[in-house]
Amino acid sequence: MIIGVPKEVKNNENRVGLTPSSVKHLSELGHSIYVESSAGSSIGFTDDLYISSGATILESAEEIFNSSDLIIKVKEPTDSELQYLREDLSIFTYLHLAGDSNQAKKLLETGVTGIAYETVTASNGSLPLLAPMSYIAGQLSIVVGSYHLLKPYEGRGTLISKIDPRVVTVIGAGVAGREAIGKAIANNAVVKVIDLNQSVLDELQSKYGNQNIEYILSTSESIQEAVSESDLVIGSVYVVGKEAPKVVKKEMLKNMISGSVLVDISIDQGGCFETSKPTNHDKPTFIKDNILHYCVTNMPGAVPLTASNALNHATIPFITELAEKGISKALNENQHLMNGLNIQNGKIIHPAVKEAISL
């Protein structure tokens, strides 16, 4: 199979779809790997390193897309890349279709086969290709949230530490939420954990105990009370294939502390704060009703080397299966991979995505 790796084009997106070690693995199996020039240079993956790993370097994205059977990316295709998509091409990447129905419509018009990392499943019901980036985003949420609480960056002017305990609320205790909870605890925050599932709260309580931690069943009222007392609120709500529910309503901001910070990890799926709108690493925040919002759509792009290595560790078994068996056979024989199939022949295939998007 001919596999193409274009350079990512989103703002400050320095991750890469295949690392040199992944290229080496696939090329040793007899597959041809085309990598766009400088695709990984910003994180030390030089063209020479890719060549020594078995890749062929092509100069443009157009060449990569036109020459390949399967495209491996990190982020969803942008408007500038849609022109290169076609019916006999497959793309394996994060798609997040429910987060932008207009972009989903444009993608459907290309006829491309789109397999989404975020809906591929594992035998235990987990989302193995979403998990590594969720892990990183959860860790980063406390870092960026703490940074933007600093007064020079328009925050409240507080430090999450044991010398002056501050309140951190985490809404949604999935992979990202649990990482945020753990990091907030490590920084001696007073933590409010909110989740819809009582068994999840009970599990976390058995792990962390009750000192400086409150476990709260999610309701509109409990969320409003928690955010009104918080310096930092992390939104990490995720529903497979669907737009994130808006758990923090616009009117709740009026009762929040001026200068407090909202970090919306769910922004790729449309955001879980009603006032969220996508931002980028160049301009990551905006202020609404005196509350600072951080809504960067590619948070793990801030640590692209770590993120690329982590993502490849998770994706390479699935990429190998697609390459070795062919797209159709791999999808038909592996239900977990089939669960990643979102679009094909101009139609939405994934049931949850179909339900979430009205076109």
List pLDDT tens digits, range 265-313: 999 999 999 999 999 999 999 999 999 999 999 999 999 999 999 999 9
pTM of the model: 0.93
pLDDT of residue 358: 65
pLDDT score recorded for residue 242: 85
Largest CA distance in the chain: 61
Q: Are 317 and 28 in contact (CB under 8 A)?
A: no
What pLDDT is recorded for position 124?
A: 93
Yes or no: say if 116 and 94 are a contact pair by the CB < 8 Å rule.
Answer: yes
Beta bridge partners of 2: 32
Mean pLDDT calculated for residue range 237-262: 94
**Which entry of 31, 100, 268, 293 is annotated as an active-site residue?**
268
- Per-residue model confidence as pLDDT tens digits over 104-113: 899 999 999 9
Q: How far apart are CA 287 and CA 293, in angstroms?
A: 6
Contacts of 208 (CB under 8 A, 6+ apart): 181, 185
The pair of three-digit structure tokens given for residue 228, joined into one six-digit string: 């009104």
**199: Cα separation from own chain's centroid:** 25
CB 64 within 8 A of CB 5: yes
3-state secondary structure 279-347: ECCCCCEEEECCEEEECECCHHHHCHHHHHHHHHHHHHHHHHHHHHHCHHHHHHHCHHHHCCEEEECCE
Task: Work out the average pLDDT over 82-99.
Answer: 94
Mean pLDDT over all residues of the chain?
Answer: 96
Kindly give, in sequence order, each residue whose CB lies less than 8 Å from that of residue 187, ignoring residues fewer than 6 positions away. Answer: 142, 146, 160, 161
336 is catalytic: no
pLDDT confidence of 67, banded at 50, 70, 90? Answer: very high
User: Do 278 and 268 touch, CB atoms closer than 8 A?
Assistant: no
d(CA 132, CA 308): 10
pLDDT value, residue 47? 98
Q: Which long-range contacts (CB under 8 A, 24 or more apart) does 347-352 make?
A: 347/108, 348/97, 348/104, 348/108, 350/116, 350/119, 350/241, 351/241, 352/98, 352/119, 352/239, 352/240, 352/241, 352/242
Pairing assessment for the beta strands 291-294 and 285-288 based on DSSP bridges: antiparallel
- Cβ contact 86:110 at 8 Å: yes
Rg (CA), the chain: 21
Decide if 339 contacts 224 (C-beta within 8 A): no
123, pLDDT greater than 60: yes
268 catalytic per annotation: yes
Inter-residue contact 74 to 15 (CB < 8 Å): yes
CA distance 195 to 174: 9
**How remote is the C-alpha of 249 from its chain's centroid?**
22
Does residue 162 contact residue 188 with C-beta atoms inside 8 Å?
yes
Catalytic member of 96, 148, 293, 350: 96
Tokens representing 344? 């094909």
Give the relative orientation of helices 175-186 and 131-148 as an angle to the nearest 10 degrees.
40
Q: What's the rounded mean pLDDT across residues 303-330?
A: 98
Neighbour count for residue 103 (Cβ, 10 Å): 17
Is residue 354 very low, low, confident or very high in pLDDT (cuts 50, 70, 90)? confident
pLDDT attached to residue 181: 98
